[in-house]
Structure 1
Amino acid sequence: MDLMTWLPVAWFAVIGFGVLMYVVLDGFVLGIGILAPFAHSEEELDQMMNTAAPIWDGNETWLVLGGAGLLAAFPKAYAALLSALYLPVLLLVMALVFRGVAFEFRFKAHRSKRLWSVAFGLGSLLATFAQGIILGALVQGLPIVEGVYTGGALGWFTPFAMLTGASLVAGYALLGSTWLILKTTGPVQVLARQLTRPLVVAVIVAMGLVSSWLPFLQSHLMQRWFSDGNFWWLSPVPILTLAVATALWRSALHPRRDLPPFLLSLGLFVLGFAGLVLGMWPYLLPPTMTLWDAAAPASSLGFSLVGLVVLLPVILGYTAWSYRVFRGKVEAGAGYH
């Protein structure tokens, strides 16, 4: 197996890992923002946000890794993807900036605190919805001819993409509620437990609607799952998803189980991501651009991979260290300075 065969696969695994880490780590912070309107007071929202205050900005390192890795390893795919999804990507970046500014300013504000609370929630909601739109466009497939996107500025604007956007909002909200079960006590934890079961239902319904829509798309993902008997060896993914959702439903209201709901909600995302990757393989931008079509020269891939071997353990190390340092419950009244 030559370098141009396995190096793109290695980089695909790295980028996929980075995207998954971003989704599961920053996902619960975005989920907290989505759930912000449900807080009964500014003090409750303080406690909710304080669970993520020491770690939220470090989580976004994984988004930078995924984006920079795509540019370095698959420049053709990066160019086509940005051309196709310029508007939702711009919305995502602006919403993340808006969310970050609101997160910091809210803790310093007095008269305008309520305004920054609304800004935090709105930025989180828009960022999540934009990510869902991008995901939906990838699943549906992008019209790319000889590496050039030909679908127009609003080619991504489809009912299916809107559905995946709404589905991801429900998913991140579920991550946020289970994170709050793990990290809080008192009224905020009670609220989080009350929200978790309806969110489990919403996520399962959303996954069912997205899956039911796939046969009408004629997408590569649909062909991968249901052609040549592939469904039988891929079937453990939906079966495990249902099992995890059932376990999450049962554990959500258990008064002494704070960690399992969060781990199970992470499990739902990991299984969903696995199903997506298995369905897309070996295409980076379905239905025409494979890993090897989009890959940079072997010299560039190898050079970048050497740097990654040094960088990735550092990112993993400080991520693990920060979560260890700030482990435990966040009580009401705890301050962020």
Structure 2
Amino acid sequence: MNEFLQDGAWLPFAFAFLIGLSMLLYAVLDGYDLGVGLLSRFVERPDRDRMVGSIGPYWDANETWLVLGVGLLLVAFPAAHGLVLGELYLPVAIMLVGLIFRGVSFDFRKKVAPEKQEGWDRTFFLGSLVVALSQGYMVGRFVVGFQSGWISELFSVFFGFLVVAGYGLMGAAWLILKTEDALQRFAVKWARRAIWAMVAAALLSSLTAPFVNTRIYDRMFAFPEATLLIAMPLVSMLLTVIMHFLLGALPMPGDRLSAMPFAISVSIFVLGFVGLVYSFYPYIVPGQLRIVEAAAAPESLRVILIGTAIVFPFLVGYTVFAYRVFRGKATDLSYD
């Protein structure tokens, strides 16, 4: 054990954990504000302003977790970074275009002349949709280890739909927490639709998964891995049923249980993420590069770890501070 700690053999696993944690935090935090963007096309202008106001104080900070995760992948696992970005060059470029248009429209929609605001609102929605679809597609391609063939492409497309539905669910759950009256009732309605859309997309992905090597099914029939990999979908199904009945009772007097849909949707995301990561461990790129093989030299990782230890608490602290300061119901976003 002491030798394991002294020779730095633990460092690749520590960085794999930090990358996974950063990506999970990004998926949850930026996922709900992308979901709000997806839902913004289905309401009128006043409600749309309130929806954008609900994510205004947070959305820039949410995206820093993606920057951290990709940055750590570059410096800690350069071989994996090159392989992943080489395979995903086009969808990454499309995602970046979507992020750019989404960011520009977020500000311009309130600053331009009234007759041009609708166009920027449409761009905000389209940017959110492009980002969500491209991220889901990229995760699907990553999970199958960038295998070729139409089945693996179909799996990735279905996974893209799954992520869009999941983001829509978290966005609706966020609005249930942060809004009131008619907009809150709208969010409840869309959450009920999104959760079953997510179930449908998950079933489609599961039907194609046996025809590509995701390693999930290999572990599902091996003990003790089978216990964990079967338990997580069962818990997710239970949470889905609980969410369905809870949404049927919302909104409640006094805004009771308004935070529960968001907590449940986040829990479903976390369970899905942990299940995927566990299915391809110890690979950093499923089926191609193992964590130890792709890691930088221990001397480099020690230096990087010092910088990470400085930056990480600031990101966590700022995130906690922002959510604490802007807690409560949302108001209209204004630049006055």
- Would you call these one fold, judging by a TM-score over 0.5? yes
CA distance in 1, matches of 2:199, 2:286: 25
For residue 131 of structure 1, the aligned residue among 113, 135, 145 is 135
Once structures 1 and 2 are overlaid, which stretch shifts more, 229-238 or 185-194?
A: 229-238
For residue 166 of structure 1, the aligned residue among 156, 161, 165 is 161
1:198-224, CA deviations, whole angstroms, 9 ceiling, x for partnerless residues? 111111222222123211113333323
CA distance in 2, matches of 1:195, 1:169: 13
CA distance in 2, matches of 1:279, 1:334: 42
State the partner residue of 1:95.
98
For residue 38 of structure 2, the aligned residue among 21, 34, 38 is 34
State the partner residue of 1:314.
314
State the partner residue of 1:53.
56
Q: What residue identity is the alignment partner of 2:15?
A: W
State the partner residue of 1:81.
84
Would the aligned equivalents of 1:215 and 1:222 in 2 still touch at CA under 8 Å? yes
| Residue 155 of structure 1, CA deviation | 9.2
CA distance in 2, matches of 1:155, 1:325: 48
The question of 1:63 aligning with 2:66 is answered yes
Q: What residue identity is the alignment partner of 1:255?
A: P
State the partner residue of 1:43.
46
CA distance in 1, matches of 2:104, 2:223: 50
**Cα distance 1:243–1:155, how it changes in 2: closer, same or farther (>3 A)?**
closer
Would the aligned equivalents of 1:53 and 1:336 in 2 still touch at CA under 8 Å? no
The question of 1:15 aligning with 2:4 is answered no
The question of 1:232 aligning with 2:224 is answered no
Would the aligned equivalents of 2:185 and 2:251 in 1 still touch at CA under 8 Å? no
For residue 197 of structure 2, the aligned residue among 183, 202, 213 is 202
1:168-201, CA deviations, whole angstroms, 9 ceiling, x for partnerless residues? 1111000000000000112211110111111111
Would the aligned equivalents of 1:139 and 1:221 in 2 still touch at CA under 8 Å? no
| Residue 336 of structure 1, CA deviation | 4.6
Q: What residue identity is the alignment partner of 2:251?
A: P
CA distance in 2, matches of 1:247, 1:136: 27
Would the aligned equivalents of 2:179 and 2:329 in 1 still touch at CA under 8 Å? yes
The question of 1:212 aligning with 2:207 is answered yes
State the partner residue of 2:171.
176
Please state whether the residue corresponding to 1:252 is helix, strand or coil: helix
Q: What residue identity is the alignment partner of 2:190?
A: L
Q: Runs (4+) of structure 1 moved beyond 6 Å?
A: 154-157
RMSD: 1.8
1:97-153, CA deviations, whole angstroms, 9 ceiling, x for partnerless residues? 11111101112122210000000000000000000111110111125xxxxxxx6xx
Q: What residue identity is the alignment partner of 1:271?
A: L
CA distance in 2, matches of 1:239, 1:336: 46
State the partner residue of 1:324.
324
* Corresponding residue pairs, total: 326
Question: % of aligned pairs identical?
Answer: 38
Please state whether the residue corresponding to 2:9 is helix, strand or coil: helix
Would the aligned equivalents of 2:19 and 2:69 in 1 still touch at CA under 8 Å? yes
State the partner residue of 1:288.
288
Please state whether the residue corresponding to 1:112 is helix, strand or coil: helix
| Residue 229 of structure 1, CA deviation | 5.6
Would the aligned equivalents of 2:102 and 2:124 in 1 still touch at CA under 8 Å? yes
Q: What residue identity is the alignment partner of 1:93?
A: L
1:287-330, CA deviations, whole angstroms, 9 ceiling, x for partnerless residues? 12110111001011111011111111110001000001000002
Would the aligned equivalents of 2:151 and 2:211 in 1 still touch at CA under 8 Å? no
Unaligned runs of 5+ in 1: 144-150
Would the aligned equivalents of 2:170 and 2:266 in 1 still touch at CA under 8 Å? yes
Would the aligned equivalents of 1:136 and 1:164 in 2 still touch at CA under 8 Å? yes
**Cα distance 1:309–1:155, how it changes in 2: closer, same or farther (>3 A)?**
farther
For residue 251 of structure 2, the aligned residue among 242, 246, 255 is 255
Please state whether the residue corresponding to 1:258 is helix, strand or coil: coil
- TM normalised by structure 1 equals 0.92
**Cα distance 1:82–1:240, how it changes in 2: closer, same or farther (>3 A)?**
same
CA distance in 2, matches of 1:130, 1:156: 18
| Residue 167 of structure 1, CA deviation | 1.0
| Residue 5 of structure 1, CA deviation | 2.4
Would the aligned equivalents of 1:142 and 1:285 in 2 still touch at CA under 8 Å? no
Unaligned runs of 5+ in 2: none
State the partner residue of 1:147.
none
CA distance in 2, matches of 1:156, 1:32: 31
- TM normalised by structure 2 equals 0.93
**Cα distance 1:54–1:24, how it changes in 2: closer, same or farther (>3 A)?**
same
CA distance in 2, matches of 1:233, 1:320: 31
CA distance in 2, matches of 1:157, 1:209: 12
The structure whose residues are more often helix, as a share, is 2
Would the aligned equivalents of 2:176 and 2:187 in 1 still touch at CA under 8 Å? yes
Would the aligned equivalents of 1:82 and 1:89 in 2 still touch at CA under 8 Å? yes
For residue 112 of structure 2, the aligned residue among 109, 114, 119 is 109
